[in-house]
Structure 1
Amino acid sequence: MIATVSVGASAATLVVRSSGPSAKSYPAGKQLADSSKIALKAGDQVVILDSRGTRTLKGPGIFSPTLPSNQASDSRETFAQVSSRRARPGATRGVQPAAPPAASGRSPNIWFVDAERSATVCVADPSAVTLWRPEGGPMTTATLAQVGSDRTETVQWLQGQSKRPWPASLPVTDGAQYRVTWEGQAAPTELRFALLGPTTSGLEDMASKLITRGCTAQLDLLIETVAIPDGASKPGG
């Protein structure tokens, strides 16, 4: 089993993305106390995350990190509905993060390793890594080569096949780098693994680790997966 989210966990609200004139004041990874105010100018956009999910705040306006009591329902019941995997034994109503169905070639799960996108990839369980590509691809053979060694392995993709297990012969360790190539590819995919450990204590902790390790593609999918409707992101004064 791979990382789970515990419903009982709680932490300060976390900034997970920001842009605009005030971006330097709200960098990704910044924690916000419940009593703080988020002052945004025109053109600002800040995405914040807490135990309920993510909210996108757009300036100008002054916002509170906390939701009003009538909007403070927990979004993770919906989160559980889109997850097809069972929680780790012992976790309290935990669910594995899973994004909505893939659109525009985006991975349907934050823990899948996109074979076509160069990135730093965070891994929760190095013994259960899934290599993914957009569905509908042709039959092909991909070659995985470890950078700095002579270790290589091939992965056979059938027509329309999107998932393959990562070869057990290639170690998935912290900092390990791999190059993925196949016929007709314009440029190889460069992958670098970052190990997170087997569990996280909640959405905030998971997002914080993704930010710290530079796993931006996975962070983007997590943000989209647990987004709270826009109605909960109005200025509060």
Structure 2
Amino acid sequence: MMRAKLLLWGVATAVALSSTAALASVVVVRSLGPSAKAYPPGKTLPESASISLKGGDVVTLLGPSSAQTLRGPGNFEAKQVALASAAGKRGRFGALRTAEVAHNPSIWDLDVTQSGKMCVNKAGKLTLWRPDAETAATVKIRSSDGKTQDLAWAAGKASAVWPASLPLANSAEYQIEWPSTGEKSSVTFVTVASAPSDLVGAAQVLIENGCQNQLDLLVESASKSQ
């Protein structure tokens, strides 16, 4: 009985330590100025790191649940960012704030009005989101091999599932056209093994694969959560 209790205590301690370690790191998501090479996007800093910035430096760091922008000149501690992030933690990052202007509900949903690279979960279903859901609308999706598929939203609906008849292909470009206006957007999908459930992990995946629109949305959401 005592051995079982010790084993459970050991497991609990390990979990607690691993959680502390997870909170101890931050990742650079934006960097401008003279020290940009020293703090490139994607660089992970431990809690013990000291950040020295020169005049004109602007570095944005992302912690476990929030983002913080540092401006030089000055010396900063990564610990301060990590602790501030932990203090402001507010559940799952995919749910963004409510505002007067409609915002994409998740970084893993495709905003059909934007072009660029889009990181998608290899095993998951892709949701397409539109900012204006007042009226019914239809878009035409065209793959790089010439296949097309129409996708419709009913009035009041902002989200729709990517058509199964048009499988997503890694590194392939798809064009989304609004027949009613002639507007078009082009998206190149990058499939990832899984969608990280934490801010730092998600940021690293997005940076590594060049999914800038999603990274911008992630940072914007985390900045508002402080």
The alignment's C-alpha RMSD in Å is: 2.8
1:9-28 correspondence to structure 2 within 5 Å: 10=22, 12-28=25-41
Aligned to 1:143: 140
Please state which structure has a larger fraction of its residues in helix.
2
Is the contact made by 1:114 and 1:132 (CA closer than 8 Å) also made in structure 2?
yes
Q: What is the aligned-residue identity percentage?
A: 34
Is the contact made by 2:26 and 2:82 (CA closer than 8 Å) also made in structure 1?
no
Note the residue ranges of structure 1 that are not aligned, 5 or more in a row.
Answer: 1-6, 81-94, 231-237
Is the contact made by 2:32 and 2:57 (CA closer than 8 Å) also made in structure 1?
yes
1:101 aligned counterpart, secondary structure: coil
Residue 112 of structure 1: how far off its partner (Å):
1.0
User: Structure 1 residue 121 and structure 2 residue 118: aligned?
Assistant: yes
Aligned to 1:207: 203
1:211 aligned counterpart, secondary structure: helix
Per-residue CA distance 1:79-110 (angstroms, 9 max, x = gap): x2xxxxxxxxxxxxxx4622223664542311
Distance in 1 (CA, whole Å) between partners of 2:102 and 2:36 is 29
Runs of 4+ in structure 1 off by over 6 angstroms are none
1:36-47 correspondence to structure 2 within 5 Å: 36-47=49-60
Deviates more, 1:218-227 or 1:162-171: 218-227
Aligned to 1:53: 66
1:87-236 correspondence to structure 2 within 5 Å: 95=92, 97-101=94-98, 104=101, 106-124=103-121, 126-136=123-133, 138-147=135-144, 149-200=145-196, 202-227=198-223
1:219 aligned counterpart, secondary structure: helix
Is the contact made by 2:68 and 2:81 (CA closer than 8 Å) also made in structure 1?
no
Is the contact made by 1:51 and 1:74 (CA closer than 8 Å) also made in structure 2?
no
Task: Tell me: CA distance 1:39–1:116, structure 2 relative to 1, closer, same or farther (3 Å).
Answer: same
Residue 187 of structure 1: how far off its partner (Å):
4.0
2:78 aligned counterpart, secondary structure: coil
Note the residue ranges of structure 2 that are not aligned, 5 or more in a row.
Answer: 1-17
Task: Tell me: CA distance 1:165–1:28, structure 2 relative to 1, closer, same or farther (3 Å).
Answer: same
Residue 175 of structure 1: how far off its partner (Å):
1.4
Could you say which structure has the larger radius of gyration?
A: 2
Is the contact made by 1:177 and 1:193 (CA closer than 8 Å) also made in structure 2?
yes
Residue 74 of structure 1: how far off its partner (Å):
4.2
Residue 59 of structure 1: how far off its partner (Å):
1.6
1:42 aligned counterpart, secondary structure: coil
Task: Tell me: CA distance 1:96–1:196, structure 2 relative to 1, closer, same or farther (3 Å).
Answer: farther
Greater relative CO (CA pairs within 8 A, separation 6+): 1
Is the contact made by 1:132 and 1:164 (CA closer than 8 Å) also made in structure 2?
yes
Task: Tell me: CA distance 1:155–1:12, structure 2 relative to 1, closer, same or farther (3 Å).
Answer: same
Aligned to 2:78: 65
Is the contact made by 2:53 and 2:74 (CA closer than 8 Å) also made in structure 1?
yes
Deviates more, 1:65-74 or 1:169-178: 65-74
Distance in 1 (CA, whole Å) between partners of 2:99 and 2:173 is 26
Distance in 1 (CA, whole Å) between partners of 2:41 and 2:67 is 13
Is the contact made by 1:140 and 1:183 (CA closer than 8 Å) also made in structure 2?
no
Letter matched to residue 221 of structure 1: L
Task: Tell me: CA distance 1:71–1:136, structure 2 relative to 1, closer, same or farther (3 Å).
Answer: closer
Aligned to 1:32: 45
Query: Normalized against structure 2, the TM-score is what?
Result: 0.78
